[in-house]
Amino acid sequence: MAKRILIVDDSASVRQVAGMALTRAGYEVVEAVDGQDGLAKLSGKLHLIISDVNMPRLDGIGFLKAIKANPSYKFTPVIMLTTEAGEDMKNQGRSAGAKAWIIKPFQPQILLDAVAKLVLA
C-alpha cells in the first residue's frame, strides 16, 4: 500500500513538481494550498508532511506547531520546503519540530532522498 504524503504549499507549480516526483516514486500525495487548508486535510494515516513556510492565512511555522499539538499527527515527520534560508527561521522550524529543511528551488531527487530517509525512520 502506497505511503501517504501531505504537501502544503501556496505555489501550485511547486506542488506540481513535488507531487509529480513523489507520485512517480510510488507515494500517494494529498495537496493543500496553505497551512489552514493543510489542517483541514489532516485525515487518515499520513506518513510524512511537506510544508512551505511563507503562506497566506496560516504560515508553515504555525501549521507545524498545530501538527505537533495534534495527538494523531505529532509524530508524523515534517519537511520544511521553503525559500527561507535564514538561520533564525531554520531555528524556529527546528524548535517547532521539523525534521528537515530544504531550500527552494529544489532538485526532486533531493526531496525524494529526504522523504525516503524520514519515512523509513
Partner 1 sequence: MMPTDSVFVAALPILAKQIENARQQSEDAILALSTRFRGLVTRLDGAMAASEKGSGDGGRDLGNAMADGRTQLLTVIDALMAIRDSRAALITEIRSLNAFTAELADMGKEVEMIAFKTNMLALNAAIEAAHASGDVGRGFAVVANEVRQLSVASRTTGKCIVAKIEVITTALNSIVGANEQAVLKEAAAVKASETRIGNVLASFGGMTEKLLASAQEFRGEGEEIKNEVMESMVQLQFQDRVGQILSHVVERIADLGARGAASGGEAADERDGAADQYLADMAESYTTEEQRRIHLGGPAAEVAPQAAEFF
Residues that bind partner 1 (CB under 8 A): 9, 11-14, 16-17, 20, 24, 53-54, 79, 82-86, 90, 93-94, 98-108, 110-111, 113-114, 117
- State the Cα–Cα distance between residues 34 and 51, nearest whole angstrom: 9
In terms of CB distance, is 16 or 70 closer to partner 1? 16
In terms of CB distance, is 36 or 60 closer to partner 1? 60
- 37: cell is 487548508
**Residue 27 beta carbon to partner 1: minimum distance, rounded to whole angstroms:** 16
In terms of CB distance, is 12 or 40 closer to partner 1? 12
DSSP result, 69-108:
TSTTTTTS-EEEEES---HHHHHHHHHHT-SEEEESS--H
